[in-house]
Chain A
């Protein structure tokens, strides 16, 4: 006469008899029913998947097509521009560049056009625009880094300083520190190709970028003296010429590796430091021989350089 049920005996019920489906034990009618139920289940799953796919497609289409968005989604104007970049451009530049109309909602923005506006600035390598409902336009940028700078006439007598990226794209830099820009070598004046008013990328810049990057890394003290890089001999002679602040011209061959050429330059430069006359031309494009020409006397400026009066050739033995 108590309520303790823990130790009460348990009697098995007929419900404990398993009722598994064993196709082998099914009669012909049973097998047909099993097949039909499998078919129904398959059909149901297929229908569910089809409906799910349809819903997903509709959702995607609504997301991409502003005309199909509900009115409520169109009503909120853009309040925030979220900029994420790996470079130097800032929010103010973004606002200026996009110049969004007042009270425009996210769905009214033509993202493709806005992206083209951003890409029109050479400094922007890639741009991704995303609507973050209800009121934020997110902009992700990847920027170009300058390798050299150049001065050019943009027309109407206006001469401006432009920057050139590793891929040869010429752009007006924005947001860069002036110390960084002043440390960049100049690109010797060259004629810039234009298509529909836009300056086309300069060929050969990847080679220049590679040379400058290696020089900066391997022989920083020499690189600090480099002032002008010329691509005049690139196409005809496969040469890149660098002019130092002292007026010396250093010729690099583009067919060989830059690293051994820089190593030879370093060695030659040390030897020439003992000479009383500064070098006028060092040619590193000839392989093991490095001809060096000297000016007759120290020159005040590169423009006044005189014909070479004497010359010397350094010979390097290949490493054992």
Chain B
């Protein structure tokens, strides 16, 4: 690797806020050197609907991050979310060519190409090809099967694809700042990589990144992502329900949700009331706390139910020993872990960043941006690996993730 560090910007264009983290990557280590945030405008359910407004906010966040870092960003890793993202599973199988049945690189390449070869409908583009573990004569091989003996080699890919225009919208926002998008990473993969350990992923774990406009999920099995998905549901739906149910403005409803909203019912007393502002000023009024909890818990339960239905047969409590991990801004809703545990029938807890992450970046709102940096670098390294086989880049990354 070059001794010149690369300055990477991890950008998450979310429905409620835009987060930028700046990382200085030396080829061995990654240091977070800057952070920028801006309230989001022109973004609905994770998709850009007003390029000008979204660009202004994103550029402001980028500028803030660059200023804090004291460095200009070289490349951008962009988080991708939105209801347009879909996924499917496809498998490839090859017979091992060698007479002695020793699997070589040609066999591996052939089976991977076959598994990835699937025509997409017009206007759809691949965002990720997520490989599941290889199987040699039905036997699970978590790492590379190169050199193993077998007659049949199989592999499956979970392919995530999205609408071309929607993908280009996000990229164009970054291009407007004269930066290039080097990696486009699914938000759920980025967040999932940050809040789970390799052991959890090996045992099976479901990560739910519940944002304001979307809920991204990723189910890990056998150490690798098995299924991903995005639902156009999030914290704003809870706010909307409160707003409609209690006849409040969105700002007031959001305030109530953050202060008194819960994902489960704990208040027994119907007459227990809470103040909207609590400052006894004119216009301040009282609301029954149980009503607030009822509205938010029903919606939260419904949201989790939808995720479970979308996962279908892919999710089974016995295949998800590490349970459910919740992250994202809406994961801060009180009682959501208990509700998730009831809905999925497994243990659930709030995701936490690894211990080496600085205190000011441990908020669930940064998990996706942090994961973007680490997952993006790791994805980039995998692509570059053939050119630098055994080089310091890959070794450095392995060391980097060893502690996760």
Contact = CB atoms under 8 A, between A and B. Distances in A.
Interface stretch (A1-9, A153-161, A270-278, A285-293): A1-9
B117 A10 contact: yes
A301 interface: no
Given A5-B113, A11-B126, A33-B72, 14 more contacts: A1-B95, A3-B94, A12-B124, A13-B127, A14-B126, A14-B171, A17-B168, A17-B171, A19-B171, A19-B180, A21-B178, A25-B176, A29-B59, A30-B177
B386 to A, nearest CB: 17
Query: Which bracket fits the contact residues of B?
Result: 35 or more
Contacts of B172: 25
A172 to B, nearest CB: 71
Contacts of B97: 3
A24 to B, nearest CB: 10
A190 interface: no
Interface in B364-394: none
A21 B94 CA distance: 43
Nearest to B165: A17
Closest 8 CB pairs of A and B: A8-B117, A9-B119, A33-B178, A30-B178, A3-B110, A13-B126, A30-B177, A11-B120
Given A2-B94, A3-B94, A3-B106, A8 B114 contact: yes
A26 B93 CA distance: 47
Nearest to A15: B184
A27 interface: yes
A21 B175 contact: yes
B68 interface: no
B181 interface: yes
A313 interface: no
A297 interface: no
Interface of A: 1-3, 5, 8-14, 16-17, 19-22, 25-27, 29-31, 33-34, 36-37
Contacts of A1: 93-95, 152
Main secondary structure of the interface of A (DSSP, over half): loop
A10 B118 CA distance: 7
B397 to A, nearest CB: 21
A27 B59 contact: yes
A54 B114 CA distance: 57
11 contacts: A3-B110, A9-B117, A11-B125, A11-B159, A14-B126, A17-B167, A19-B171, A22-B175, A27-B55, A27-B176, A36-B72
B332 interface: no
B27 to A, nearest CB: 22
A27 B94 CA distance: 51
Contacts of B177: 26-27, 29-30, 33
Nearest to B60: A29
A12 B59 contact: no
Contacts of B71: none
Interface string B84-117: 0000000001110100000000110010011011
A18 to B, nearest CB: 9
Contacts of A34: 178
B101 to A, nearest CB: 14
B118 A9 contact: yes
A147 B177 CA distance: 81
A2 B96 CA distance: 9
Contacts of A12: 120, 124-126, 164
A135 B267 CA distance: 104
